[in-house]
Structure 1
Amino acid sequence: MWGFLNSLKNKLIDLFLITVVIFGLLGNFVPLPISFYSVLTGSMTPTIGIGNLVCIAKSTNYSEKEIIAYRSHKENVIHRIVEKKKDSEGEYYITKGDANNECDSQVVRKRQIKGKVICSIPFLGKIKQIIQTKFGMLAILCTSIQLWLLLKILRVFKEKNS
């Protein structure tokens, strides 16, 4: 009985890890409460570096000093809210990259915001960019299969030696 439960637990952990890797690195194709973006510029250094992977969580409320991701001219931008204002169209935000000398020239409306940054993971953004190419996708698929097989082989040897 305990052997079955341990086996089931290991399979669930495997499934969870595979799911996180697929959604985190391959893209944002399925609507989830968390999205992942690669940082392409240095506008948020030193807080968030070029090549970092940022995790974005949707929210209904955004405050000054929070870092947000928003859509501007068909590009995703990750900047800090420096001021929150209101006009006849509703709330809007003044944003600025930490490394920039001036605030962004365009205001950000709530409908443009993808979410707030909840964490930043160094270098994983570069890996995500590589994986999103055809060669990168093939390489990650082959590597994942090899690692999965290696882990399975190690578990078999461990069980035989126990």
Structure 2
Amino acid sequence: MSITSGRHSSRVESSSTLRHAADEPGSDQKGDSDSGPLDMIRLTLSWLFLFVAVGLLAAVVVVPRLAGATPYTIMTSSMRPHMPPGTLVVARTADPAQVHTGDVITYQLRSGQADVVTHRVVGVGQDGRGERLFTTKGDNNPTTDPAPVRAVQVRGKVWYSVPYIGYLNQVITGRQHVIAVYVVAGLLLAYAVFMVLSSARDRRRARRERRRETA
């Protein structure tokens, strides 16, 4: 009887163990299936953030610097709706002969002074000496600007604009641009390396888990 009892007990324990072992992979698999999409979403959002940050850095600092262009910030509502306050505009030097009606230009209010305005050209003419003159107007203004703009006042023709990023350009000026490039580029590079290593680690961990389940 004791032998029969022992065999019976052994069978029960073995069956229980098998059931427990059969349950565990299922629960692990369910956990993996639950966390898989979340990990993918997290990874996608992380890379999206990285690309957006790199794009903004390029638009504000890198591209203007490489192209010899100058970034400016729209501070008033005169160019709404396409260029609201806070818009970053990047202007490239342009031959006055290549500036035409419909172009958006950045020009000095008075020749040789730092204050500039970005408005649209609505008319092109000449003075008595043959100098090219531009009539300008803010898209949101009811009337044209009071004085024509001389060619010597034109700082550039707007190349591209990025809404609301101009405030960042106001914060980092002069040598701070160069420092910002190295600092932000270093941080983004470190973040990219971290994401690559983290993704590779997660894949190795998933492969080990699959091998352990099939062993």
TM-score (norm 2): 0.54
- Aligned-residue CA RMSD in angstroms? 3.5
- Unaligned 5+ segments in structure 2 are 1-53, 205-215
Q: Select the structure that is richer in helix.
A: 2
The CA distance in 1 between the partners of 2:152 and 2:174, in whole Å, is: 30
Higher relative contact order (CA 8 A, sep 6+): 1
Bigger radius of gyration: 2
Cα offset, 1:143, TM superposition: 5.6
1:148–1:57: structure 2 CA closer, same or farther, 3 Å change rule?
same
Instruction: Indicate how the Cα distance of structure 1 residues 65 and 138 shifts in structure 2: closer, same or farther if over 3 A, else same.
Output: closer
The CA deviation at 1:70 is 0.8
Q: Per-residue deviation at 1:118?
A: 2.4
1:70 to 107, 112, 116: 107
Q: Percent identity?
A: 24
Aligned partner of 1:127 among 168, 183, 195: 168
- Give the match for residue 24 of structure 1: 60
Measure the CA separation in 1 of the matches of 2:164 and 2:139.
19
TM-score (norm 1): 0.70
For the Cα contact (< 8 Å) 1:84–1:94, is it kept in 2? yes
Q: Confirm or deny: 8 A CA contact 2:71 2:169 kept in the other structure.
A: no
Over 6 Å off, 4+ runs: 133-141
Following the alignment from structure 1 to structure 2, what is the Cα–Cα distance between the partners of residues 117 and 58?
A: 9
Displacement after TM superposition at 1:42 (Å):
0.9
Match of 2:196 among 143, 155, 162: 155
Separation (CA, whole Å) in 2 of partners of 1:119 and 1:138: 24
Paired residue for 1:53, among 83, 88, 91? 88
Distance 1:33 1:130, change over 3 A: closer
What secondary structure does 2:196 align onto? Answer: helix
How far residue 68 of structure 1 moved from its aligned partner, in angstroms, is 0.7
My pick for the range that moved more, 42-51 or 30-39, is 30-39
Q: Does 1:108 align with 2:149?
A: yes
In the alignment, is the contact (CA less than 8 A) between 1:69 and 1:116 conserved in 2? yes
